[in-house]
Amino acid sequence: MILSVPEGDDKPLKYPLMFEKSDALVITKMDALPYFDFDMDKVTERVRRLNPDIRIFPVSAKTGEGMEALEDWLCAEAAALKASVHA
């Protein structure tokens, strides 16, 4: 699931099923956070209420913030999938 800072922190309230079923949430455009009315604490609370196990990755392609953690998670997920296919 991808959520962009400009979309607002209320997106989990509008589309709860998407957040309930997703394994990960990538919050993009974190570099724009100072310019938008977006509350990370609120969005995290709302998402965790819907899905306590979801992984949350705040990222910025502009600054590189959070990209390494997301890449590590994606590589681990790909490796696990590959291992399960070959098992």
Q: Is the pLDDT of residue 41 over 80?
A: yes
pLDDT of residue 86 exceeding 90: no
Tell me the C-alpha distance between 28 and 47, whole Å. 15
pLDDT in tens, 10-35: 999 999 999 999 999 999 999 999 99
What is the pTM for the complete model shown? Answer: 0.91
The CATH number, out of the four listed (1.20.120.530, 3.40.50.720, 3.40.50.1970, 3.40.50.300), of the domain defined by the range 2-85: 3.40.50.300
DSSP-derived 3-state class of residue 45:
helix
- pLDDT band at residue 87 under the 50/70/90 scheme: confident
Residue-range domain boundaries for the chain:
2-85
User: Residue 66, Cβ neighbours under 10 Å: how many?
Assistant: 18
% of the chain residues with pLDDT over 70: 100
